[in-house]
């Protein structure tokens, strides 16, 4: 079962510059940063109440997030919902005929993650995340 909005992800041109606003000006606590090689991004999670803001800086203009930035500029990239069982959520989506990007969960900044295709979600990229203890 989906529990809450885990985070809202924003694409930014420069992660450090974006942190000057989200962390320093807005006062959101930085909970983690990491280079996520398989997604081609430098990423940061900032606490916002019971949810988080994820900032994504592409490592290359040729990957998915880089192409997003080139086409649309910075801004909203995806909405992530937390679940206790991402694999089960993915199977429920598959059973409903929802187009998927990921066929199985994979590691990400927010834990075990998977994405639904925006063609099946009214144009919004949707992520499921199952947080894991680090």
96 contacts 50 by C-beta, under 8 angstroms: no
List Cα–Cα distances, 25 to 50, 68, 116, in angstroms. 19, 26, 33
pLDDT at 133 (0 to 100): 78
DSSP codes, 42-61? EEEEEEETTEEEEEEEES-T
First to last CA, the chain: 23
What domain range includes position 116? Answer: 2-130
Choose between 134 and 44: higher pLDDT: 44
Chain segment 10-45, per-residue pLDDT in tens: 999 999 999 999 999 999 999 999 999 989 999 999
Confidence class of residue 80 from pLDDT cuts 50, 70 and 90? very high
pLDDT above 70 (res 114): yes
pLDDT above 70 (res 134): no
CATH code assigned at 30: 3.10.180.10
The total domain count for the chain is: 1
66 contacts 58 by C-beta, under 8 angstroms: yes
């Amino acid at each position: 079962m989906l529990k809450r909005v885990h985070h809202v992800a924003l694409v930014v041109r420069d992660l450090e510059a974006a942190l000057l606003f989200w962390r320093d000006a807005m006062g959101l606590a930085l909970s983690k940063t990491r280079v996520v090689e398989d997604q081609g991004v430098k990423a940061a999670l900032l606490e916002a109440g019971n949810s988080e803001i994820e900032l994504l800086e592409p490592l290359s203009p040729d990957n998915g997030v880089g192409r997003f930035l080139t086409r649309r500029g910075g801004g909203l990239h995806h909405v992530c919902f937390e679940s206790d069982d991402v694999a089960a959520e993915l199977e429920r989506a598959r059973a409903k005929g929802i187009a998927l990007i990921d066929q199985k969960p994979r590691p990400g900044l927010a834990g075990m993650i998977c994405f639904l295709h925006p063609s099946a979600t009214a144009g919004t990229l949707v992520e499921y995340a199952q947080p894991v203890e680090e």
